[in-house]
Amino acid sequence: MAIVAFTKRETIVILIFAAMILPIVAYGDPVLKKVAVDITPEYPGLSKLIDDMFETMYQAKGVGLAAPQIGKSIRLFLVDASPFAEDAETEEEEALADFKKVIINAQIIEESGAEWKYNEGCLSIPKIREDVLRKPKIKVRYLDEKFKEHTETLDGIAARIFQHEYDHIEGKLFTDRISPIRRRLLNSKLTDISKGRVEVDYRMKFPIK
């Protein structure tokens, strides 16, 4: 067995290269309002970007993260809903233990069912949660990290997580789905977030200095 010694500086460089915590873009940044573009397998550094996004999402204790949230207007997002299964009270929550995916160039083909309300939050809009209406069942098409195509039907919480992240690559936020009255009531808090006047325990990039 060979033993290789590294200097302190080399070790730091290796660790940084292995995984990087990226700053999450805050509400108010124009990138969050753009419709993102498709990517190909030739997209530069895609594998590293995916690894960094997972690391960033886990550090921020999120269950989903879209590329626009780290400043890249491309149709890429990832999900890992396993935290829902940790204290599962239903079979649906238990099933979320395996709901971990990399989603590229996604399309929602169909939405069905009566809209249902669920309390949502977003890493780009910390400290704010609101009830959002969405369809309970969706049919989707996407590519995974190996650019293999998948067509799936999702429902319940899995569908909602997918819809929330899909909104990001369509230039939408969950606050766009609440009533105008509720948005007006939240306006001062949203302005504070855009200016960095909010306490968070993960890295963020604020659009207004």
Residue 179 has pLDDT above 70, yes or no: yes
Residue range(s) defining the domain that contains residue 191:
8-205
49 within a domain of the structure (yes/no): yes
Of 81, 64, 40, the residue nearest 174 (C-alpha): 64
Quote the radius of gyration of the chain (alpha carbons, Å). 18
Higher pLDDT, 88 or 4: 88
Q: Is the dihedral of CA 86, 87, 89, 93 positive or negative?
A: negative
pLDDT for 14-70, tens place per residue? 444 556 899 999 999 999 999 999 999 999 999 999 999 999 999 999 999 999 999
CA–CA gap between residue 20 and residue 22 (Å, rounded): 6
CA–CA gap between residue 123 and residue 201 (Å, rounded): 11
115 within a domain of the structure (yes/no): yes
**What's the mean per-residue pLDDT of the chain?**
92
2 within a domain of the structure (yes/no): no
Higher pLDDT, 202 or 9: 202
Report pTM.
0.90
Give the percent of the chain with pLDDT over 90. Answer: 84
pLDDT for 30-46, tens place per residue? 999 999 999 999 999 99
Strand-pairing partners, residue 131, are 119
179 within a domain of the structure (yes/no): yes
CA–CA gap between residue 54 and residue 62 (Å, rounded): 9
28 within a domain of the structure (yes/no): yes
Residue range 108-128: mean pLDDT, rounded: 97
Tell me the residue ranges of DSSP E strands in 29-162: 64-66, 76-80, 100-112, 116-122, 125-134, 137-143, 149-155
Residue type, 65: L
What total of structural domains would you count in the chain?
1
Which residues are tagged catalytic? 165
Q: What is the CATH number of the domain that holds 80?
A: 3.90.45.10
pLDDT at 6: 40
CA–CA gap between residue 130 and residue 66 (Å, rounded): 19
Instruction: Check if the beta carbon of residue 59 is closer than 8 Å to that of residue 22.
Output: no
Distance of CA 37 to the CA centre of its chain: 16
126 within a domain of the structure (yes/no): yes
65 within a domain of the structure (yes/no): yes
Residue 162 has pLDDT above 50, yes or no: yes
pLDDT at 90: 83
pLDDT at 144: 98
CA–CA gap between residue 25 and residue 17 (Å, rounded): 21
Residue range 129-152: mean pLDDT, rounded: 98
